[in-house]
Structure 1
C-alpha cells in the first residue's frame, strides 16, 4: 500500500511540474493614438510569473481590433512563446447592459406593486369614510376624532405614494437611457476580445508586458474657433478635435495623441500597365476579349499592399508626412456615447483686415480678415466658428488643399458703409456693323461712408469673359480700376473720409455675329 501511495505521489508531482498555469487579467490602457479613422491602443500588464509555462489571458480588448496588428513587448526573465486573439462571448457589453436593464426593470416593477398597494389602501380608507348624522348618534366629538383619523391615514398613504413615484421616475429615465445606448451603439452587440499570451519562465519572476494593437471605429475630425477682438488685433485660432470611438471599451484617464496620418490608405505605389491601341475589327472581338481577360488576370495577380501594422504606423507618424499632437492632459473617451471635444492648440496669426463690397450682388459692405501664411499652421480641412468682438458670426470652411498663402474669413456685414449699383442709360446701346452687332452696357456704383472715421474699401464688380473667338469683349475703362482678364473681375481700392461719398462708373462692349444669340449677356 505504501508503494502504491509513493508512485501516485510521484506521478502527481510529475504532472504538477509540467502543468500550465493560467492568469486572467485586464490590461491597463495607458496611451491611445487616434488617427483620422483608426486608433492605436497601448496597454500594459504587470504581475508575477511562476516557474514553468503560464497562459496569461488578457480581457477587455476592443471588439473592433485588427488581430494582425497585435504587438507584444515585455521586461522580465521570461520567454514569450505565442500570441493568440479570440472573441470572448461571455464578456459582451450588451449582456452587461441587458442585465442592468433587467435589474432596473425589476426595481420599477417592485415599486409599481408598492404603489398599487398604496392606491388600494387609499380606496379602502375612502370607502369607509361615510359619516352618519347626529340623528344616528354621532356626536361632534366623535366626528372630530374620525376626521383626525382619516387625515392621518390619508396623509400617510399620500406621502408613501409620493415617495414611490419619486423613486420610479429616475429609474424609468435610467432604463430609457440604457435602452437607447444599447440600440444606438452597434459595437456593444459585439463580444469583447481576449489576447492569450503563452509565456515560459525558468524561475519565479516579475513581468511587465506591453500590448499594442489597432482598433477600427475610432477617429477624429478637426474644427476651429476663429476669434478677432478688433481690426487692430491679430487673429486667435483655436484648433480643436472631435474625437469619437465605438470600440466597445472605455478609454479612461489615458494619454491621448492625435495623428493626421491615415493608416487605412494604401501605401503601395500603383502599377502602370501597358495601354495597347489597335483598330477596331469585328472578327477580332474574341481575341480582344482574351486580351482583356489576360489584363484582368494580371491585375488580380498584381501585388496587394500589406496590411498596416502598428510598427509601420508609428514610423509614419514620426515622419514629416504627418503631424502628431501629444495631448498633455489625460482624457476619458467613452465608447458609443458621442464625440468628445479635445482642445489641441491655440495659434495667434497676423491678419490683414479689409472692407469689401460687391454691389452687383449685395448693397452691404463686408469686413474680412486675411490670415497670412496660414499653411504654416498645418491645419486640416474642417469647419470653423467665426467670432468678432465676442459675437458669433457664423461658420466658414478651412480648405487645407488651397494653394493661396492667405485664408480669407468673412467677419460679417459692416452697416456703416452703404453701396448702390444702377444701370446707366447713356452707355446702353445696340448697333449693327456689317455682319456683327455691338452691344454696350454701363453702370454706376455709389458708395457712402456713414462712419465718423475714414475707411479703406475694396469694391468688386465684373465684365463678361468670352469663351469663343467670335465674341469680343472690350472694357471701356474706369479710373482706378484693375481688370483680371482671365476672370473679368474688376477691383477698385478707394479711401473714404468720414461721411464722404464716391461714385464709380464703368462700361463694356460686346461684339458678336448678328445671326447668333449669346447666353448670359
Structure 2
C-alpha cells in the first residue's frame, strides 16, 4: 500500500500532459530582460521557460499589459520544438498586478479606514450614554422630595460620568482628526500615482509542437503605448574662461501596469507612433461654388442630403500631418539612418506609476564664446550669453534646460534644436557687477515749433563700468524710432560710433572692457512732423 503514492507521483512527473485537464495552457515562467524606450511608447523584451510536453500544446505568457499592441508581437524560441501559431487575448477575469508601493498604500488605507470606523462607533456609544444620563437626571417625583445625601450621590455620579464621557469624546475627536489626515494624504498619494481600479490583463498564447518532452526557452517582444521619455539638460558654466558642461538626461516614465525592475534601458530618438507612410497628394479640383437651397416645406418631413459636385475629390485632397560616475559613463551611442540609440548598461527600476525618472545619458564639454548683452532701455542689468558652435554633433533633441553659472542655479530655458541655426545661444542670467545706466540729457532734449513743423529732439547718455576682476566682452544695444509715414522725418544726431541698422532702428556697440574700465556712450535723434499732429516718444 505504501508504494501507490510513489507510483502516482512518478507518473505525474513523466507525463504532465496527461494529467493537465482539457489541454489547459501551460504558463511560461519568465521576466522582462530589457526595454527600448521611444519618445512615445516602448518595446519590451521578455524571456521565459516552460515544460513542453510531446505533441501539440499551448504555452501562455500571463499578466501582460492591457495596452499591449498585438500587431507588434514577435515570438522566438530555443529548443527542439516548432512554433505553430501566436495569438493575443484580454483576460477580464484577472486583475492587473499593482506595484508594491500602491499595494502597500492601499492596505494601509483599508487599515486606517477600519480604525476610523471603530472610533466613530465608540463616539456614538458615548453620545448615546450621555443622552441617556441627561434624559434621566430627574430623580424622585413631583410629590416626593429626595434626601440630601441621595441627591449628592446622584449629582456626584452624573458629574463624574459626564466628565469622563466628555474627556473620552475629546480624545476620540483628536484620534479621528489624525486618522482623517492620514487617510486624506494616502488618497492624494494614490491619486498622484494613478492607482488603478479593476483593470484586465493581456495574455499571449503560443501553440507549439515537440517530438519529446523538454524544457523550452521562449522570447517575446511587444510595444506598449503608455511609456516614453523626454530630453532634459543641465547646462553648467564654471566661468567665462572655461568650456560649458552639458549633461544630457532623459525623463523616463511608464504606466503600463508592470514595473520594470533592474533592467538595462535603451533610449531611442525614434517615435513609432508617428507612422512610416509618406503623405501623398491627390488632384485638387477647383470649380465655382454653387449654394444649395432647401425647400422649407420638406424640412418638416426630414432634410434630404443633396450631393455637391466634386465633394469626394475635395475630401481626398485633404492631407493630414502626423504629429560620482554617472550612467553617462555606461552609455553606448549608436547612430542609424532613422534614429539614435542610447544603450545604458546600468540596470534601472522604472515603476508603473506615470512619474518621471531621471536617467543620465551622457555628458559633454563644449567650447563656448561668452559675451554680455545689455539693453539699458529695457533692463539695467547685462545678461551673460554663451554661443555654442559645435552643438549639432551631440544628437540633441528639443527639451527643457536647467542653467547653472558659477555653481548657482540661474533658471530654466528651452533648447529648440528644430529652429536653431549653426550657433546655439544660451542666456546664463544677470550679472550686476557690470553697471549700465541710461539717462536722458535734458539740455539736449527739447521740442521746437517752426512754422507748420514741430522738431522734437531726444538725447541719451549711457554710462558703463566693469566692476569684475576679469576683462569682459560687452554688446550694448539701443534704438531710435523708424518712420512709417512720409510726413514724419527721423534723423540721427549722435551715435558714438555704433553700428546702425536704419531698417530696424537698432544701435549696436561691441566693446571689450578691462577690470574697472568705464565707457560713456551718447545717442540722439530728432523727429520732424506737422504741427497739430501728436506722436509718442520716450
**1:515 Cα deviation after fit:** 7.7
Per the alignment, residue 27 of structure 1 pairs with 30
**Structure 1, 20-29 or 43-52: larger mean CA deviation:** 20-29
- Work out whether residues 431 and 439 of structure 1, in 8 Å CA contact, stay in contact via their aligned partners in 2: yes
Per the alignment, residue 382 of structure 1 pairs with 399
SS of residue matched to 2:274: coil
Closer, same or farther: CA 22–481 of 1 in aligned 2, 3 Å? same
SS of residue matched to 2:91: strand
SS of residue matched to 2:382: strand
**1:234 Cα deviation after fit:** 0.8
Per the alignment, residue 63 of structure 1 pairs with 66
- Work out whether residues 187 and 336 of structure 1, in 8 Å CA contact, stay in contact via their aligned partners in 2: no
Closer, same or farther: CA 343–20 of 1 in aligned 2, 3 Å? same
Closer, same or farther: CA 182–23 of 1 in aligned 2, 3 Å? farther
Per the alignment, residue 311 of structure 2 pairs with 293
Where structure 2 has 5 or more consecutive residues not aligned to the other structure, the ranges are 1-14, 123-174, 295-303, 323-333
Per the alignment, residue 504 of structure 1 pairs with 521
**1:245 Cα deviation after fit:** 0.3
So what's the TM-score if we normalise by structure 2? 0.71
**Structure 1, 251-260 or 317-326: larger mean CA deviation:** 317-326
SS of residue matched to 1:376: helix
**1:88 Cα deviation after fit:** 2.4
Q: Please state if 1:199 is matched with 2:208.
A: yes
Per the alignment, residue 85 of structure 1 pairs with 88
CA distance in 2, matches of 1:297, 1:454: 64
CA distance in 1, matches of 2:231, 2:37: 12
Per the alignment, residue 450 of structure 1 pairs with 467
- Work out whether residues 101 and 175 of structure 1, in 8 Å CA contact, stay in contact via their aligned partners in 2: no
Closer, same or farther: CA 178–366 of 1 in aligned 2, 3 Å? closer
CA distance in 1, matches of 2:284, 2:317: 13
Q: Please state if 1:494 is matched with 2:499.
A: no
CA distance in 1, matches of 2:487, 2:223: 62
Per the alignment, residue 43 of structure 1 pairs with 46
Per the alignment, residue 372 of structure 1 pairs with 389
Aligned equivalent of 1:332, options 321, 329, 349:
349
CA distance in 2, matches of 1:304, 1:505: 52
**1:432 Cα deviation after fit:** 7.6
- Work out whether residues 371 and 407 of structure 1, in 8 Å CA contact, stay in contact via their aligned partners in 2: yes
**1:501 Cα deviation after fit:** 2.2
Closer, same or farther: CA 205–408 of 1 in aligned 2, 3 Å? same
Closer, same or farther: CA 106–231 of 1 in aligned 2, 3 Å? closer
- Work out whether residues 234 and 404 of structure 2, in 8 Å CA contact, stay in contact via their aligned partners in 1: yes
Deviations 1:391-427 (A, max 9, x none): 2122222111233222222333222221111223455
SS of residue matched to 2:87: strand
**Structure 1, 329-338 or 343-352: larger mean CA deviation:** 329-338
Closer, same or farther: CA 432–319 of 1 in aligned 2, 3 Å? farther
1:245-284 aligned at under 5 Å gives the runs 245-280=254-289
Pairs aligned (count): 447
So what's the TM-score if we normalise by structure 1? 0.73
